[in-house]
Structures are given as structure tokens and as C-alpha cells.
Amino acid sequence: MKRTRGLAWGLLLAGMVAVPSPAAPPERTSAGHRGSCLPGAAWSPVTRSAEWEGRAGLQAIDLGKDLFVMGGRGAFNPFQTTIYRDVWKSGDHGGSWEKVSDPAEWPARAYFQAVRHRGRIVVLGGQNFDTVPNPGFPANCPPPSSGIPCFPFIPASKFFNDVWQSDDGANWTPLTETAGWEGRAGLSAVVFKGEIFVFGGSQGDDAATGGQGRRLFNDVWKSRDGAHWAKVTPAPGPRWAPRAGAAAVVKDGFIYLLGGERGFTCGPVPAPICEPERDLYFNDVWRTRDGARWEQVTPAAGWSPRPGHQCVVALDHIVCFGGYGEPTNPNDIWASRDGRRWLELEKPASPPWRAVNPDDAKYDFDALVVRDGPFGLFPSILTFGGDRERFELLPEENATRVDNDVWRLGLPFRPRH
């Protein structure tokens, strides 16, 4: 997740509703006057069909003058999922797009990270979703009633630990082909105090997609130039559990880590033996000033445990939304000044993407905060692409559920008091 600056206008986000402490389940209450004093915080489509193909696990970067979208995967296909290595540029805040690199010099990948560092795009890690023929298909497949997936091809992903750099999205330079950290996808990355930090992620293909399972990480690495990496030695004390798909932001001198997962789906294991929100997903929040010493801000934020979400910093708040859930995706949006006390936004800021039906809520999208409006003073949250596929649906239906749209959440400049 890219670092963004928020305008410190106090509690400005539209429709905020106080949430009880984590010991009690969060409740919705009427936004009432609090929502009415902040007009204009609402979702609108910038484009419903960008020039780039629909994709998930992509990355978006703001270099000031231009926005860039790159990489990602198409809809899941048991034979071969399309993985992208293209780069697209927009000079009008996502309304229109120009292809600037296809293929890019770096190998095709999804679920990687990209950060802005010293005015350049830096791409890190990810996986390529390669497959190989399944020698046991179909003779040795378990019966359909088992719920265990069996495909004619099985995952054999390569997990990258390379780092690439570009100042224009068209020309790329490898900073290192083998960073010190192990190859991984679903990693988190931020720029903090002039250094790139990489942490978490996983290696190995998930059993839910026919793979042999994953290894999860909770290590932390940093680099001043993207080429030379040092492992941050953990300090004594508490530390977050290994995970992938966590959101990360920088705010008030801290790196924050929020949510994530240690598995996507329970598969054939029934409830109550396995329940994703309880057993696989996280909604804890952690922070650190140096990557070595971590403080648990809350073991359970107001929002439900989830992976595939995004968090950004806007108007001096951490804003989190989207993500994957079972049996349905969450379609709420939450904000917090400190990561401990969370407020749920209501209409018109919620639901994200106007997704009244959870089937329209996204996961594995990317998000940025940009400045637009007169003199660039008005902050907006932009989202790019994303996924609405479900494990239980057939490939032909899932093929229509990977998006190439851009949405905007316009935020108010100041309260009306």
C-alpha cells in the first residue's frame, strides 16, 4: 500500500458512526446530523471499462503527474490463468489510459507490491501462477462430493524476490534479481523514513486452488536503495502472526499492519470445525516505529476479519474497505484516527462502489489517495480493478467478475459548521 498524506481537518469523513469496544459486537446506528454536515463524500465511477483488461492482484502508483496501473491476473482458469506484465498510464486521474509497456522487462506477476520511492516506481515480489499437467487427472481425482478441487492442471507458481525500478513506467531497470528475503506473494510494502520495508506474505500455492499448500511469513526487511536488503532483527516482545494479504499504511511516525489471512477458504471442512472469519482471517491491527518492535493496537478492529482489502490514509484517518469473505464479501467502509477506535461510515460513503449487493463488492483491488479539484486541494480515494469471483461458481461465470473499472470516493474539504 502506498503512503498518502491526509488533511488534518478532524473527524470529517461522512456518516461516521461510533463502534463499541471489541468486546462487544459492532452495531450500526443512525448517522443523523453527523452525516448531514459533511456533504459530498460519495462514490462515483471514473470509468466502468478502462482500456486495460480486467484484473486482480494488480498495483497502482501515483507519480504526481500521472497514474500507473500494472500487472495482475485475469479470471481464474483451471487450465491457465492470464497473468499480466503490462503498464498503463493515465494523465486524467483514471478516466483514460495509454499502454506504455507491454511486455515490461520484469516477468508477468500478480499479488506483488509497487511503491513510490525517490520519485520512481519500484516493483517487488509476486507470483506467476504457472501450471503443470496433473498426472492424476481424472482417474485419481476424489469424488465431487468430497469438495476437494481436482483440475487437469495443478499450480506450480514461481515466487519472485526481484526488485525493479522505473521513472516512467516504460523503461525498467533491475535493482536486484534476488533480494535477501525469500520469494513471496501477498506481501506488504511501504516507504518509511526513506527506506522500503517489505514484510509478511506467503510462498506456495494454496490447496484451495489445487496446490500443495503455503508457507506464511512474518519477517521484516528494509532497503534504502531497493538493491541491498537487511533483515530487521525482531526485538523481544509481541509480534503479529505470519500472514499474507495484510494492508499496510504509514501514519504519524508508525507503520501500521491491518488484517490479512492464513488461508482463503475452509474447503471441504464444515462449520463449526472451520469458520473462515474465526480460523483463517485477521482483523487485528499492529504498528511499529522501526520494524523490530511491534505494538498490538487492537486484537479485533470493528470491521470483520478479512483479506484482500485495502487501507489508505486520508483526512488524517486510516480508511479500510473491501476484501474477501465467506459466504459473502464485506461491503462496508471504516475509518480510524489511531487504529484502535474504528468508526463505520454510512451513506453516501458506504457501501463502497455503491455495492448494495455483496456480489458487487470487490477484493484484490488497489487503491490510492490523490488530490484533485480546484488547486488540487480536495482528496479523493481511487480504486482500480479487483475481483468478485467465488470458489463455488463455474469458470464461465467467474470470467465476468474480474473488473477493469476505476471508482472515486470524493471526500469533503472541510466540515460545514
At 260 the pLDDT is 98
Grid cell digits, residue 70 = 500494472
Least confident of 35-44, 70-79, 254-263, 391-400: 35-44
CA 191, 194, 200, 203 torsion-angle sign: positive
Q: Using pLDDT thresholds of 50, 70 and 90, give the confidence band for residue 110.
A: very high
Compute the average pLDDT of residues 45-74. Answer: 97
Centre a 10 Å sphere on the Cβ of residue 28 and count the other Cβ atoms it contains. 10
Compute the average pLDDT of residues 235-262. Answer: 97
- If you average pLDDT over every residue of the chain, what do you get? 88
Over pLDDT 90: what percentage of the chain?
72
Over pLDDT 70: what percentage of the chain?
88
Angstrom distances, CA of residue 277 to CA of 241, 262, 264, 330: 15, 11, 10, 11
122: which strand partners? 115, 165
Given a cut of 50, whether residue 214 has pLDDT beyond it is yes
CB 410 within 8 A of CB 383: no
Compute the average pLDDT of residues 130-151. Answer: 85
At 154 the pLDDT is 86
At 153 the pLDDT is 87
Q: What is the pLDDT of residues 292-348, one digit of tens each?
A: 999 999 999 999 999 999 999 999 999 999 999 998 999 999 999 999 999 999 888
Q: Using pLDDT thresholds of 50, 70 and 90, give the confidence band for residue 79.
A: confident
Compute the average pLDDT of residues 206-218. Answer: 86
Report pTM.
0.89
Which phi and psi angles does 358 have, rounded to 5°?
-55, -25
Which phi and psi angles does 197 have, rounded to 5°?
-110, 135
Q: Which domains does the chain have, with CATH numbers?
A: 16-410 (2.120.10.80)
CB 311 within 8 A of CB 247: yes
Q: What is the pLDDT of residues 153-167, one digit of tens each?
A: 888 999 999 999 999
Given a cut of 80, whether residue 23 has pLDDT beyond it is no
Given a cut of 90, whether residue 144 has pLDDT beyond it is no
Cα dihedral 90, 95, 99, 105, rounded to 10, equals 50
CB 173 within 8 A of CB 165: yes
